[in-house]
Amino acid sequence: MKIVSLLPAATEILCDMGLAEYISAVSHECDYPSIVKNKIKITSSIIPNNSDQNTIDKLVKEAITNNIPLYEVDTVKLNAINPDLIITQGLCDVCSISEDKIQATLKNNLCTLSSNTKIISLNGVTFDDICSDILTIGKAVNKEDIANKIIKEAVCSKLKISKKKSKSTLLLLEWIDPYFSAGHWIPEQIEMAGFISSIGRKGEKSRQITTEDINKTNPDYIGLICCGYNLEENILFSQKIYQDERINQLNAIKKERVFAFDSNSYFSRPSLRLLEGAKQLKKAILQNDKEFHCKRY
């Protein structure tokens, strides 16, 4: 079987199932596990590398307004691979245009493919959804038993993580220029870690928020999980929080209760590594772990 994964989380799930050798190509964002780093990259982004957050925000909003795809799919490489299975996100439509050809919208790119190519679309926005996506992939690759085993282990891990509860509120920020609240599965991670999500509820989309929103909620703790950034980058972003005069009177900031995390690995993607993210939240805040704690400089 030749598989093309256009979604980093799907690539992780396939590898968890022991199917790395069958992955023929991946998206440019697929970087985990290390075995996939040398796979053919079949997508690219329209956003220039090293753009700052404000520029990225403007480019994304402009692209959405003008219905411009954020990603480009290399259809020449795709057709050369002639995959048996494509895993994507937000599949819009698939239609037959002849006996041996179909048209599919992959990451908002219209592609013409062999009619033998199977396409599945994942849209998990909660922990349960992600488990459903794992089962969907398992069925597509005839690994349903393995999928069910992975799901069972994940549910058990979630229950273990979720034992201790606190009344403390935690604001996780997915972006800081402008500010965005945590959405989709991230409020669940906050709950798993034993805290109350200051802004954002399970399954809701991340949304732009104001400094007035942040001041109004007055969270006990603040965490930096800027989407797609690693721990070191989010630590740097934390200093911008301390320097923002609109919110630096919050108790969480005055008492230096600000933490940073590797969002790219443990928060940004709908994969089971979100369980590790929940563990890190608990460890960082309850134990005041120096690895995650962001002091004012």
In the chain, the domains with their CATH numbers are 3-123 (3.40.50), 164-286 (3.40.50.1980)
- Residues 6+ positions from 80 with CB-CB distance below 8 Å: none
What are the contacts of 151-156 at 24+ separation with CB within 8 A? 154/127, 154/272, 154/275, 155/131
Tokens (6 digits) for 85: 């299975």
Alpha carbons within 13 angstroms on the beta-carbon side of residue 254 total 8
Q: Is 217 exposed, middle or buried (0-12, 13-18, 19+ CB in 10 A)?
A: middle
Coil/strand/helix, residue 164? coil
Per-residue pLDDT of the chain (297 residues; tens, 9 = 90+): 999 999 999 999 999 999 999 999 999 999 999 999 999 999 998 888 888 999 999 988 888 888 888 888 898 899 899 999 999 886 444 444 445 666 677 877 778 888 888 999 898 999 999 999 999 999 999 999 999 999 999 999 999 999 888 889 999 999 999 999 999 999 999 999 999 999 999 999 999 999 999 999 999 999 999 999 999 999 999 999 999 999 999 999 999 999 999 999 999 999 999 999 999 999 999 888 899 999 998
Pairing of β 109-114 and β 118-122: unpaired
Tokens (6 digits) for 248: 């630096």
- Residues 6+ positions from 55 with CB-CB distance below 8 Å: none
Edge to edge, the sheet with strand 85-89 lists 40-41, 23-26, 3-5, 85-89, 118-122
Quote the DSSP letter at residue 35.
G
